[in-house]
Amino acid sequence: MKNIYIIATTALIFISCGGNKKKTVEDVIATENVTTIREKRTELAEEQETINNKLKQLDEALLQYDTIKKVPLITTFTAETAVFNHYLELQGNVTTKDLLVITPEYNGILTGLYVKEGQRVSKGQALGKIDDGGLTQQLSQLQIQAELAKTTYERQKRLWDQKIGSEIQFLQAKSTYEAQTRGIEQLEKQISKTVIKAPFSGTIDDVITEKGSVVAAGQTQLMRIVNLNDMYIETDVPESYIPYVTKGKNVEVDFPVLGKQISTKIRQAGNFINPANRTFKVEVGIPNKDKTIKPNLTAKLKINDYTSESAILIPQSIVSENAEGEQYIYVVTDKKTNDEGVAKKVVIKTGKTQGDVIEVLEGVKNDDEIISEGARSVENGQAVKVINL
């Protein structure tokens, strides 16, 4: 009996404790009772508000008593002088003065074509022949007549030297001979125009007109000749760079299509400013030993227009500007042994930029500790902690 009493008491206590146990959200939802669910939601909302109030009190206490958290964490770097090369970036096209489409100097039928595409030729080499329309036969007749005129002139001269005959006969013979000679020279020049010759040494890039075609002087395109030895890039430079972009300046050239970069110099700077776009032309010579650089190829140019042997460079991202247009940065002063210091606002004067850096002309000296990360979140005179790794 006593054992039954103990068991009953234990069960009663267990049931009582289980009845006081809070139901979970899942249990409440399982009841499918709207009133019960609403009561549970209200209960949780009140608990959440109580927790938020307690968190707010804790945050206020931390702000009041946690002095370490008040100090901003920053990174710094030391100002050092270095060589600074500024480059003007432009785009240009490759060209050459030895690129020419040859046209005939004489009208007629193209009777001879002595070259083919890709063939190397020398200056003055015959490339083709145009029918002269009988000029060669006329030349032969003139040469025969000139021989007779020459003989007559020489005989009259010998007689005249001996005071035999009249002066008029001597002068007529001389005039006839000279006229015949000039006629031959003129006809030879005409005939020479029927032979197409290479104006310079190079390669026949394209044969445009076929043998047997009728060609017109100065109009019909016969062939294209190119020499890849004397290549250069031509580009337009804004007039504001006249004092800096001069003959002999260093240039870095990039050919994106070829994946090739070369270093060269400006070989000529123009003396004429184009009134339409206020630019002047610049020629940059380029070596082309392997003949991979072709005319009209696009190139990117970086012209060295400014150099400083002892420049202080800083990231552009840390430079701020005030309402007066002054640029400023922050440096660390009063540095302590525990890497804490004071942020000081320094007004600077800047120069040229290159990429993500800018040159500081005034306001910063060598060995100054400049704030990098956190530069835009500090204030003048504020205590900071340096965490350089």
User: What is the edge-to-edge ordering of all strands in the sheet holding 195-197?
Assistant: 195-197, 126-130, 108-113, 214-215
- What's the confidence (pLDDT) of residue 15? 41
- For the chain, helix (H) and strand (E) counts, in that order, are 6, 22
Query: What are the tokens at 82?
Result: 């270095």
Report the percent of the chain where pLDDT is more than 90: 52
- What's the confidence (pLDDT) of residue 163? 80
- pLDDT over threshold 50, residue 75: yes
- What's the confidence (pLDDT) of residue 70? 67
Q: Between residues 3 and 277, which one has the greater pLDDT?
A: 277
- pLDDT tier for residue 67 given thresholds of 50, 70 and 90: low
- What's the confidence (pLDDT) of residue 312? 94
Report the percent of the chain where pLDDT is more than 70: 92
Once rounded to an integer, what is the mean pLDDT over residues 217-225?
93
Asked if 33 and 41 count as a contact pair (C-beta separation under 8 A), the reply is: no
Q: Between residues 314 and 23, which one has the greater pLDDT?
A: 314
Domain ranges of the chain: 2-60, 73-83+309-386, 100-225, 227-307
Q: Considering the domain 73-83+309-386 in this protein, what is its CATH number?
A: 2.40.420.20
The yes/no answer on whether domain 100-225 falls in CATH 2.40.50.100 is yes
- pLDDT over threshold 60, residue 4: no
DSSP 8-state assignment for residue 276: T
Distance CA 362, CA 318 (A): 16
Note the Cα 115 to chain centre separation in Å.
39
Backbone dihedral angles phi then psi of residue 296, each to the nearest 5 degrees: 75, 10
CA distance readout (Å), 355 to 9, 82, 84, 256, 261? 85, 16, 12, 19, 18
- pLDDT over threshold 90, residue 31: no
The DSSP bridge pattern shows strands 223-226 and 99-102 to be antiparallel
Query: What are the tokens at 363?
Result: 């306001």
- What's the confidence (pLDDT) of residue 234? 93
- pLDDT tier for residue 66 given thresholds of 50, 70 and 90: low
Once rounded to an integer, what is the mean pLDDT over residues 26-47?
86
Distance CA 284, CA 277 (A): 20
How do residues 244-268 score in pLDDT, each as one tens digit? 999 999 999 999 999 999 999 999 9
How do residues 151-192 score in pLDDT, each as one tens digit? 888 888 888 888 887 888 888 888 988 898 998 998 889 888
Which one, of 370, 364, 303, 368, lies nearest residue 330 by Cα?
370
Apex CA 311: angle with CA 371 and CA 253, to 5°? Answer: 110
Asked if 323 and 281 count as a contact pair (C-beta separation under 8 A), the reply is: no
Describe the crossing of helices 135-161 and 167-192 by its angle, rounded to 10 degrees: 160
- pLDDT tier for residue 146 given thresholds of 50, 70 and 90: confident
- What's the confidence (pLDDT) of residue 219? 92
- What's the confidence (pLDDT) of residue 389? 63
- What's the confidence (pLDDT) of residue 17? 42
Alpha helices by DSSP H, the chain:
2-20, 25-31, 34-65, 67-70, 135-161, 167-192
- What's the confidence (pLDDT) of residue 336? 77
Once rounded to an integer, what is the mean pLDDT over residues 215-230?
92
How do residues 340-361 score in pLDDT, each as one tens digit? 889 999 999 999 998 899 999 9
- pLDDT over threshold 70, residue 229: yes
Residue type, 295: P
Question: Spelled out in words, what is the top-level CATH class assigned to the domain 227-307?
Answer: mainly beta
Range with top average pLDDT, 26-35, 47-56, 260-269: 260-269
- pLDDT over threshold 70, residue 20: no
Distance CA 359, CA 306 (A): 11
Q: What is the chain's mean pLDDT, rounded?
A: 87
